[in-house]
A and B are shown apart, each in its own frame.
Chain A
Amino acid sequence: MIARIIALAAGFVALVTLPYWMHGEYYINVSSQILFSAIFALGLNIIAGYGGLVSLGHAGLLGIAAYSTGYMLQAGFGHTLAILAALVIGVASMAVYAVLALRATGIGFIMITLALGEIIWGLAYRWISITNGDNGINLHGRPEPFGFAIESARNFYYVTLVVFLVSFAAVTVFVRSPLGAALMGTRDQPRRMNALGYHVWAIRFWACMFSGLLTAISGILFVYYTQFISPQALDLTASAEVLLMVISGGAGTLFGPIVGAALVVVVKSVVSGFLERWNMLLGFIFVAIVILMPEGLVPGSARLWRLAWRRLTAPGKAAVPEGKP
């Protein structure tokens, strides 16, 4: 318990002081990428991990927020309006997405969301009058929240960090709340929850909306980071990647999506620099996780740590499972 608090505090301090010990603008940028990817993964985790609804089209929703921002800026609106529009459009799109996808559960949900993601990608690719098709939309500059310029890697990192911490806190509060408990109940025993008086569809819908908000936030940070949005950011691979972030890190845990995001971003951005076959590496890592730690890296490591700790603190005793009298 104490170990946990120390670890969390240390992590927090490390994040806050990161630009001072992480050398090189490139790595600070990678850290920003990890943080807003983590927000994206946390958003997906709400419905996939805690709700049992696996969405394979979530990159489409991120793309909608990103494209909205880009479109508004291109049309001449200011940053504030662009961001607000992106949030509203993003969440509204999620509402439509949810109403369609929640017609099914389980595998049906996976297939519908895959199709929806593909439709959004197709629109981004073909609706050239709005999205500029394959050429994408370029952004010029970043907003200045409260006069604080965030063009530099360091300053952008701090804004991203603040948004990340607020998002993470929101997710933690949600997960610990009665609505969060109800959501997890619908994941485990939807039929029983219905009989207990819960409105299963509505619970899932509102979870989707929360997920949509986090996804939109992530999309806005993403587009300001890269200063560019094109259909590639919303294709099936992108949706698969964020889902893999959640599952590999540990679906239904608070830190799993963050670890998963770090894994994927590091392999994509850092490892890809010196390993051409990083895609294959990522694939092998995922397969390895399924074999060795199917519950995900975070719960799996915690399990191994507990095993190792028991061996270390009680050498010579037979391993006794916890809880048995």
Chain B
Amino acid sequence: MSALTIAGLCKSFGGLHVTGNVDLNVEPGERRLIIGPNGAGKTTLFNLITGEITPDSGSIQLFGQDITKTPSRRRAHLGMARTYQIITLFPHDSIVHNVSLALLGLSPLRWNPFIDMRRQGHITERARTALQRVGLAHIAERPLTQTSYGERRRVEIAMALAQNPKVLLLDEPFAGLSIDERRDVHACLMAIPRDVTIVMIEHNMDVALEFAERITLLHFGEVIVEGNRAEVVADPRTREVYLGH
């Protein structure tokens, strides 16, 4: 059974086809990279997978379960987690609270209006563990407003990891990072065990190519090339998409 299967997914906004008949099949534990020039529809594809946008046609299956009509918030409970291209964190809070919120989202405690959030040690402990995996445990109490861009990127990843997802969607996790920061993020991604399937959108080819096992190339919302690293790099269509000839 595949981890994530997309069949015939289409989406248009007005006359603009942003996603055209996309088929995708990701095996459990796979490291899939989605590439394509700007405007290829990569983030839209992610938004369709997570349910933030509804497709015009096609289906999405998560470990055999059809989730095409499942509301976005339920997909998190089914084991899907994502990070965002534009950092969307909670600015008024500390790093550890940000990650705690991610954990709380999957817990029935989130409806509780009586107990004290600060006393929920079990949540804060798991949050700190997640922060440890991205190397931020030492600044857990720091307010988000006093963190660097690279640190915030890692907080995003920690939040996604804290949810113990089965499928992890990373939207340009290396964007805007310095060389050192890229190395840190790369290390923490490589350390993620194989029970998590990872699909990543990335522009930064060096780090991404090293990470990917299979690559899907999108252009104008359609799948142009798909295969392993060597196949995609060698394929003449790849050159065409990026260089125009």
List residues of A whose CB falls within 8 A of some B CB: 173-174, 176-182, 184-185, 188-189, 191-200, 206, 210, 323-324
Q: Does A192 lie within 8 Å of B72, measured CB to CB?
A: no
Q: Does A197 lie within 8 Å of B105, measured CB to CB?
A: yes
From known contacts A191-B88, A196-B163, infer whether A173 and B143 are also in contact, taking CB-CB under 8 Å. no
| Residue among B50, B110, B117, B143 making CB contact with A198, cutoff 8 Å | B110
Q: Is the C-beta of B11 less than 8 angstroms from some C-beta in chain A?
A: no
Q: Does B73 lie within 8 Å of A198, measured CB to CB?
A: yes
Instruction: List the 9 closest A-B pairs by CB distance, nearest first.
Output: A197-B76, A196-B105, A197-B105, A179-B113, A192-B88, A177-B113, A178-B109, A178-B112, A188-B90
Q: Does B88 lie within 8 Å of A178, measured CB to CB?
A: no
* Binary A-proximity of B109-128 (CB < 8 A = 1, otherwise 0): 11111111110100000000
Q: Is the C-beta of B48 less than 8 angstroms from some C-beta in chain A?
A: no
Q: Is the C-beta of B82 less than 8 angstroms from some C-beta in chain A?
A: yes
For A196, what are the chain B residues with a Cβ–Cβ distance below 8 Å? 73, 76, 101-102, 105-106, 159, 163
Q: Is the C-beta of B146 less than 8 angstroms from some C-beta in chain A?
A: yes
* Complex Cα gap A177–B84 (Å): 27
* Complex Cα gap A192–B76 (Å): 11
| Residue among A176, A200, A323 making CB contact with B143, cutoff 8 Å | A323
B90-104 at interface with A (beta carbon < 8 Å) = 90-92, 97, 100-102, 104
Some 11 contacts from A to B, beta carbons below 8 A apart, are A178-B104, A178-B109, A178-B111, A179-B110, A180-B117, A184-B92, A189-B89, A189-B90, A194-B72, A196-B105, A197-B105
Q: Is the C-beta of B142 less than 8 angstroms from some C-beta in chain A?
A: yes
| A interface SS class | helix
For A323, what are the chain B residues with a Cβ–Cβ distance below 8 Å? 142-143, 146
Q: Does A177 lie within 8 Å of B76, measured CB to CB?
A: no
Q: A173-B114, A197-B105 are in contact. List 11 more A-B contacts (CB 8 A).
A: A173-B116, A176-B118, A177-B112, A179-B111, A181-B117, A184-B92, A188-B92, A194-B52, A195-B72, A197-B106, A198-B73
Q: Does A195 lie within 8 Å of B82, measured CB to CB?
A: yes
Residue of A nearest to B123 (CB): A178
Q: Does A195 lie within 8 Å of B76, measured CB to CB?
A: yes
Q: Is the C-beta of B77 less than 8 angstroms from some C-beta in chain A?
A: yes
Q: How many residues of B contact A (CB 8 A)?
A: 38
Q: Does B84 lie within 8 Å of A192, measured CB to CB?
A: yes
From known contacts A196-B102, A198-B105, A198-B110, infer whether A178 and B146 are also in contact, taking CB-CB under 8 Å. no
Interface-centre pick from A176, A177, A191 (highest chain B CB count, 10 A): A177
Interface-centre pick from A176, A188, A191, A196 (highest chain B CB count, 10 A): A196
CB distance from B44 to the nearest CB of A (A): 15
CB distance from B67 to the nearest CB of A (A): 14
CB distance from B145 to the nearest CB of A (A): 9
Residue of B nearest to A190 (CB): B88
From known contacts A180-B113, A323-B146, infer whether A193 and B105 are also in contact, taking CB-CB under 8 Å. yes
CB distance from A169 to the nearest CB of B (A): 12
* Complex Cα gap A178–B72 (Å): 21
Residue of B nearest to A185 (CB): B101
CB distance from A121 to the nearest CB of B (A): 31
Q: Does A182 lie within 8 Å of B52, measured CB to CB?
A: no
* Binary A-proximity of B220-236 (CB < 8 A = 1, otherwise 0): 00000000000000000
For A177, what are the chain B residues with a Cβ–Cβ distance below 8 Å? 112-117
Q: Does A197 lie within 8 Å of B90, measured CB to CB?
A: no
CB distance from B54 to the nearest CB of A (A): 13
CB distance from B19 to the nearest CB of A (A): 19
Q: Does B101 lie within 8 Å of A181, measured CB to CB?
A: yes
* Complex Cα gap A174–B76 (Å): 25
* Complex Cα gap A174–B106 (Å): 20
For A182, what are the chain B residues with a Cβ–Cβ distance below 8 Å? 101, 104-105, 110
